[in-house]
Amino acid sequence: AEHQHIRYNPLRDDWVLVSAHRVKRPWQGQLEKAPPEDVPRWDPNNPLCPGATRANGEVNPHYEGTFVFPNDFPALQPDAPKPDNSDHPLFRAAPARGVCKVMCFHPWSDLTLPLMSLTEIRAVIDAWAELVTELGVSYPWVQIFENKGAMMGCSNPHPHCQVWASSFLPNEACLEDRTQRQHLSQHGVPMLLEYAEQEARRKERLVVENADWLVVVPYWATWPYQTLLLPRHHVCRLQDLSEGERDNLASIMQRLLIKYDNLFEVSFPYSMGWHGAPTGPYLEEDCKHWQLHAHYYPPLLRSATVRKFMVGYEMLAQAQRDLTPEQAAERLRSLPEVHYKQRDK
């Protein structure tokens, strides 16, 4: 806890420098703005609200649950032309096609996932699974991700996520496919299934758990309060989850996100995303080396206004963190599971 060391990340096949003593240094750097507390529940000028007009002129329906629509400014399009052939191996390009969708979690702009009911969170999970099933017929990778908070580049406070389906396996997917395949070949058990069993037994990095899931600050975490959401049983993809596993997923997500908000009593910013076995042509292949999981990457370090910057050494050498994963897990674990906004209620 007091001396720097490096830890190996078997999922990414890289290392992180742990320098816990650095969190004691005085902070004279940038202070972030706290997220607004006065977000209107409905705003006709907010393009994600029910009944609002989006940038392309389309009017949203008056939806009452989740709402999925094509991204008006997609990074991937299904009919993009192939790039020209390269005349040198140092200048290679390849086709990139796909679709991008936006999914609103709830019709109210002033609501976030930790403040939604279990039934509402379960509806989000079901919609995620439906999208992976639908898009996974045609595309080998379907990336569900949520950027929460302006600090993580989110320009709209309305509760939503994005879903990008691509004709190629992105870098992180390729890396996790390789490392998980190697681990199964060498050890005879899926890496993250074995890891979940170890963390459930050791408990020092455990944040919350239930019958089907556990959340840990991973041994190799990079971001200060980074967490990894893992099933206790072998599951390859979101759509493979049983009814009970989906119910318990809604519960553990709510518990984790309440703790996040309670840490600094602020709507906690993060980027999160699901990683599961590839789809498309991979649906016919053996993907038992894969274990479904979700990554949460929050930037806050010391308070609601002091963040961790991944610059300098992190960009040019390797990742570095300022407190141990065990310290972060203990702090998260000790937090109440009643949201700070609802304590009086």
Which pLDDT does position 130 carry in this prediction? 98
**Is the residue at 264 inside a domain?**
yes
DSSP string, 190-206: -HHHHHHHHHHHH-TTE
Which pLDDT does position 54 carry in this prediction? 95
DSSP alpha helices (H): ranges in 265-323? Answer: 313-316
Contact 294, 227 (CB under 8 A): no
**Is the residue at 345 inside a domain?**
no
For residue 197, the enclosing domain spans 38-79+93-173+182-335
71 is in an annotated binding site: yes
DSSP state of 248: H
- Which tokens in the block code for residue 66? 């989740």
- What type of residue sits at position 322? D
**Is the residue at 31 inside a domain?**
no
d(CA 156, CA 87): 43
Please write the tens of the pLDDT for every residue from 178-212: 999 999 999 999 999 999 999 999 999 999 999 99
**Is the residue at 296 inside a domain?**
yes
CB atoms within 10 A of CB 93: 10
Which pLDDT does position 128 carry in this prediction? 98
**Is the residue at 32 inside a domain?**
no
- What type of residue sits at position 97? R
In the chain, how many domains are there?
Answer: 1
Closest CA to 69 of 47, 36, 86: 47
178 is in an annotated binding site: no
- CATH (domain of 104): 3.30.428.10
d(CA 169, CA 142): 9
23 is in an annotated binding site: yes
Residue with tokens 């609802």: 342
55 is in an annotated binding site: yes
Which pLDDT does position 31 carry in this prediction? 62
**Is the residue at 340 inside a domain?**
no
173 is in an annotated binding site: no
**Is the residue at 48 inside a domain?**
yes
Residues of the chain with pLDDT under 70: 1, 21-33, 345
β-strand pairing of 98-104 with 141-148: unpaired
**Is the residue at 7 inside a domain?**
no
d(CA 9, CA 222): 10
Please write the tens of the pLDDT for every residue from 44-54: 999 999 999 99
d(CA 95, CA 109): 37
Please, what is the end-to-end C-alpha distance for the chain in angstroms? 38
147 is in an annotated binding site: yes
Which pLDDT does position 345 carry in this prediction? 59
Closest CA to 283 of 151, 134, 172: 134
d(CA 249, CA 58): 34
Catalytic residues: 160
Residue 200, judged by CB atoms within 10 A of its CB (0-12, 13-18, 19+), counts as middle
